Amino acid sequence: MGSIRATIFAMLIAFAPGCLVSGRATVRTTTPDMVMIDDGVYVVEDYDEPVFYSDGVYWRYYGNAWYSSSYHSGGWVVVRSPPRRVITIRNPHTYVHWRATGNVRRQKVRDHREDRREHRQEKRQKKNKRPKVRDHR
């Protein structure tokens, strides 16, 4: 009996004309702890990969190539000509799980995605503003 129900259920899903799902999700992002390793270059502290932050972008060294992203945890795109201060990082792999010792400059990078989100909201509000209609009788 149970296998018949499972078969009928599978057929209903397979032959359904379409399905619309809606809902809400809350995503919380955090900015990683970073330590300055050179002028304008920070490394993500105690991370599984050599990820750096410079010039407002995250940089990752992997497979003899540099990648950039707006996020420290993904969205990587190969960059053929990274900035000089990034290419000059000696032995990037030594910064995997790197921890600062002594008197170092720590940095919390502001999550710039919030700025983009606010900007989009402002654009939507301006777009949705309708001109006031006046009666000129």
How does pLDDT run across 21-33, given as a tens digit for each residue?
556 655 455 678 8
Q: Does residue 43 sit within a domain? A: yes
- The string of pLDDT tens digits covering residues 36-52 is 888 889 999 889 999 99
Q: Does residue 1 sit within a domain? A: no
pLDDT for 50 equals 93
Please name which of 30, 29, 74, 70 lies closest in space to residue 49, comparing C-alpha atoms.
74
Q: Does residue 60 sit within a domain? A: yes
Judged by DSSP in three states, 60 sits in strand
Q: What is the CA radius of gyration of the chain?
A: 25
Q: In the chain, how many domains are there? A: 1
Q: Does residue 123 sit within a domain? A: no
pLDDT band at 101 (very low <50, low <70, confident <90, very high): confident
Q: Does residue 62 sit within a domain? A: yes
Q: Does residue 6 sit within a domain? A: no
Please name which of 56, 58, 37 lies closest in space to residue 102, comparing C-alpha atoms.
37
Q: Does residue 80 sit within a domain? A: yes
Q: Which residues span the domain enclosing 101?
A: 29-116
DSSP state of 120: H
Q: Does residue 63 sit within a domain? A: yes
